Amino acid sequence: MNIRLSGLLLLVLVSLAGCRPEAPAKPAPPATDASPKGTSTVSVAAASDLKFAFDELVRDFEKASPGTKVTVTYGASGKFFAQLSNKAPFDLFLSADIAYPQKLIEQGHAAAGSEFHYADGQIVLWVRNDSPINLEEAGAKAVLDPSVRKVAIANPEHAPYGRAAQQALKSLDLYTEIEPKLVLGENIAQTAQFVESGGADIGVLALSLALAPALSEKGRYWILPPSAYQPIRQGGVILNWAADRSAAERLRDHLLSERGRAALSHFGFHAPGE
């Protein structure tokens, strides 16, 4: 009887031990800012035609703004617009067409009236140095030269420089004849690569790229008449979800300053109103 009672008591004690409440979980440590204290980062989505001019401007800005880092992604303005419409994590958008920033404002992604016009672009015909085409003599009709098998332009569906190229070629009564020869770049930088690499014999490029060292040493250009296409009014906007709005505003102000305008002018951009 005592043995049975002792066994029963042991069973009860084991059961009670198994029912003890677990120790409360330790609270998770508070989230910390990934950036070092005293620093900030501005993430920029920028049109491809800005590649060389804006890189120079960013270096100048970072030198004058210790503790502020700028990261830039270059691409087609229309594609960035689609991404930003879905709240892509960029702080500042620099478009080759001011209409895209205005549309983002209409969608409620930026403050009303906050778009800014920072420059006007130009388009040119560009050929490699080994091309037999004499651009000065042929002018716009260079695209009709017998040596031309492929003509590169940016995709007009999402690249403002592609739309300007298409408008110019149509205005000059050249588009119908060369349309079968067209090759489309995803953005104006890829279009330049097509011609530079030999994938196309001639291309309609941004003057800013033609003036950059990467292309100016390898080819020749001829400026298409501005009257042949709608003005390329380039604009930007700071997004509502900018991580550090103050830093984004400082970068915008630097772009619009005399120093910023000088950097853009060096690569063939016109200041608004010029």
Taking residues 56-69, what's their average pLDDT? 95
Tell me phi and psi for residue 263, to 5 degrees: -65, -40
Which of the four pLDDT bands, split at 50, 70 and 90, describes residue 141?
very high
Q: What is the pLDDT of residues 187-230, one digit of tens each?
A: 999 999 999 999 999 999 999 999 999 899 999 999 999 999 99
CA-based torsion, 82, 83, 84, 87: positive or negative: positive
According to CATH, what is the number of the domain 41-120+231-266?
3.40.190.10
Residue 16 burial (10 A CB sphere; 0-12, 13-18, 19+): exposed
Question: Domain boundaries in the chain?
Answer: 41-120+231-266, 122-228
Q: What does pLDDT average to over the chain?
A: 89
Q: Crossing angle for the helix pair 51-64 and 245-256, nearest 10 degrees?
A: 120
Tokens 């491809």, residue located: 48
Top CATH class, 122-228: alpha beta
- 76 by DSSP, 3-state: which? coil
Domains 41-120+231-266 and 122-228 share a fold: yes
pLDDT for residue 15: 40
pLDDT for residue 273: 79
| Res 238 pLDDT > 80 | yes
pLDDT for residue 12: 34
pLDDT for residue 18: 42
pLDDT for residue 38: 60
Burial string for 63-97 (b: 16+ CB within 10 Å, else e) reads eebeebebebebbbbbbbbebbeeebebbbbbbbb
User: In terms of pLDDT, which residue wins out, 168 or 214?
Assistant: 168
Percent of the chain with pLDDT over 70: 86
| Res 261 pLDDT > 90 | yes
pLDDT for residue 32: 34
Which of the four pLDDT bands, split at 50, 70 and 90, describes residue 39?
confident
